[in-house]
Amino acid sequence: MGKAKLESYFNQKQSNGENLFVPYIMAGDGGLDVLNERILFLQNCGAAAIEIGIPFSDPVADGPTIQAAGLRALENGTTIANVLQVLQISKEERNVPIILMTYINPIYRYGIASFAQDCAEAGVDGVIVPDIPIEEEKFIADAFYESSLAFIRLAALTSKEDRLKEIAKRSEGFLYAVSVTGTTGAREAYVEEVRAYLEMLKSYSSVPVLAGFGVSTAEQAQTLSSYCDGVIVGSTIVDLFHRGDIEGIQQLIVDSIHPVTIRN
C-alpha cells in the first residue's frame, strides 16, 4: 500500500473537514508489548497516521523528552527487527498508516534493501530519515521506491528557497515542515513566526504539508494547521504516555483536528 494508503487516508480525513494530526511514539518505550495497543488507541482517537521512532544511541534530531524515551526503549532491548516483527503480526488489526522514523546508520547496518522489504511486509507506509541530505539520498530512495514506501522529506526553516522547492518537488506522502530551529521539544511561542514559511511550502508542494518540532498544544496545532495541512506532535505525546495520561492524549488529538478560522 505505502504511498497510496497515505494519500487515501489523508484525503479521507481532509474530506471530513479535519486537520491532519500525526502523533509520534517511541517504539519500545513502556515495552514492545504495548506498541500495538497504543497504535490502535491513537487510530481510534483520529490520528491521520502514526510516526513510530526506532530508538538509536545518537539521535541528533531528538530533544530531551524523546531522547529519554529512546534510552528507556533501548534498555528494553528494542531493535528495528523486533519492532517490524510486532508491526507485521498486528498489521491486519489497524487501518491507520504507519511511518517509521530512524537514522541512516541503523538502516545501513540492517541492510538497505532488506529494511525496505521488511518494512513493506510489516505494513509500514513511509519512512523518515532526518540525517540524510537530498544530495546523498539516492541509495536509499531507490530501495524505498521499489518497496512502495513513501520517503518523507524534511524541510528546514534555515534552507534557501530554491532548496525548499527541490525538497517539496521530491516529497512523497507528506512534506515534514520543521517549524523550529533545533531539536524536537515543546516551544511556547513561535507559531506566527513560521506562517510565511509554511504557506510558501504549501505553494510548492503537491502533497500535504505538516508542521512538526515544537508543537505541544491544541491551540498551536489548530493555528499551524490553518497555514498548512496539519501537525506532527512528538514530545507531548511521548510524555503523556509515559505519565499514563491517556485522556490527555485523546483530548489533545480531538481538539487539534478541528479547524479554526485562518487569522489575517
Q: What are the residue numbers of the active site? A: 51, 62
Q: Give start and end residues of each alpha helix (H) in the chain.
A: 3-15, 35-45, 64-75, 80-90, 104-110, 112-121, 138-146, 161-170, 195-204, 218-225, 235-243, 246-256
Q: Which residues pair with 99 in a beta bridge?
A: 51, 126
Residue 25: CB partners within 8 Å, gap ≥ 6? 35, 38, 39, 42, 50, 51, 52, 53, 237, 238, 241
Burial 178-197 (b: 16+ CB within 10 A, else e): bbbeebbbbbeebbeebbeb
Q: What nine digits make up the cell of 20?
A: 491532519
